[in-house]
Structure 1
């Protein structure tokens, strides 16, 4: 369906709508959902989000959609950065080891020879989100960042207790994924 230009929302109204919708939910919202709501393309939404980020709005893009970073909630969480090494085929196993213990996998970090540290949001905390993440990688023919470093990468882990993170790390150790 073609939408007339006058039916499209202005950039300021779109950006306000994006922020309001993100503030009202803790679940990620896809660019396509915003695009449908505002009668613009997903690429226009990507641009709007970039402008909002440049204005220091705490938006992150995850494999499930856009979210606001809740600074207060994050202060209460235990955090640990771990080093892992595995093949792309072991990604799902690695993530399951972590989320099965109630751990949020916030990001993946690799060290690039030219660009330095490259960090990408992962934001998975349960098996359904892991499955969606892995499925999206396959559907888009994307490659895991860890392929740039022959499998070596870091993850920032978060949980409400350090015991959960330690238990997850023990499972990674048993699987031969955790680098010590």
Structure 2
């Protein structure tokens, strides 16, 4: 807690937004809670309120990030359709990050709920390892388990050629689903 004084929720949310805007690395909810002298659940609520107030905050498996536009360069984006088992998840993600591709999210089309999406923001093998560890620790299912392994990734790279090369590598492994 700053200066040992208790601050109100509005001031805490402002400080959280400022901190996320300044940091380049994701910030864990538990660390934010400790820093502000509140529970992790309070931070989750604060983040929800900030998102409702149109702050571009994304919750990822690595923590919270401020999704700022990249003014330095235009990035190429695309959507890739894949299918694989849970055991092959890390291999698929490593192929993408090894090609210099940021995996922004995973999306499935559910019969009752429509489109379901989870924010990933995976850009390195270290991120893949952390995500795989989290999935194993939580004994979590893949969203793709709802669709017999079929899922989409929104991806970003410096150029379209990078995305195409990553898609070719996925195709070689049998993970790419072509339309």
> Normalised by the size of structure 2, how large is the TM-score?
0.94
Q: 1:143 to 1:48 in 2, by over 3 A?
A: same
**Structure 1 partner of 2:88:** 90
Match among 10, 13, 21 for residue 12 of structure 1: 10
Q: 1:171 to 1:59 in 2, by over 3 A?
A: same
Contact 1:7 1:39 in 2 (8 A): no
Q: How far 1:71 moved relative to its partner?
A: 2.0
Instruction: Quote the RMSD (CA, aligned, Å).
Output: 1.6
Q: SS state of the match for residue 178, structure 1? A: coil
User: 2:75 maps to what in 1?
Assistant: 77
* Structure 2 counterparts to residues 1-180 of structure 1, below 5 A: 8-73=6-71, 76-180=74-178
| Number of residues of Structure 1 aligned to a counterpart in Structure 2 | 176
Runs of 4+ in 1 over 6 A off after TM superposition: none
Quick one: distance in 1 between partners of 2:72 and 2:11?
A: 29
Cα deviations across residues 36-67 of structure 1 (Å, max 9, x unaligned)?
A: 10011101000000000000100000110000
Deviations 1:127-176 (A, max 9, x none): 00000011011111111100011100000010011121111111100110
Secondary structure, aligned partner of 1:157: strand
Cα distance in 1, alignment partners of residues 62 and 165 from structure 2: 26
Q: Secondary structure at the match of 1:32?
A: helix
- Structure 1 gaps, min length 5: none
Q: Conserved in 2, the CA contact under 8 Å of 1:8 and 1:40?
A: no
For residues 142 and 49 of structure 1, the distance between their equivalents in structure 2, rounded to whole angstroms, comes to 23
Q: Distance in 1 between matches of 2:68 and 2:62?
A: 17
CA distance in 2: counterparts of 1:57 and 1:39, whole angstroms? 22
Partners of 1:96 and 1:72 in 2: CA distance: 24
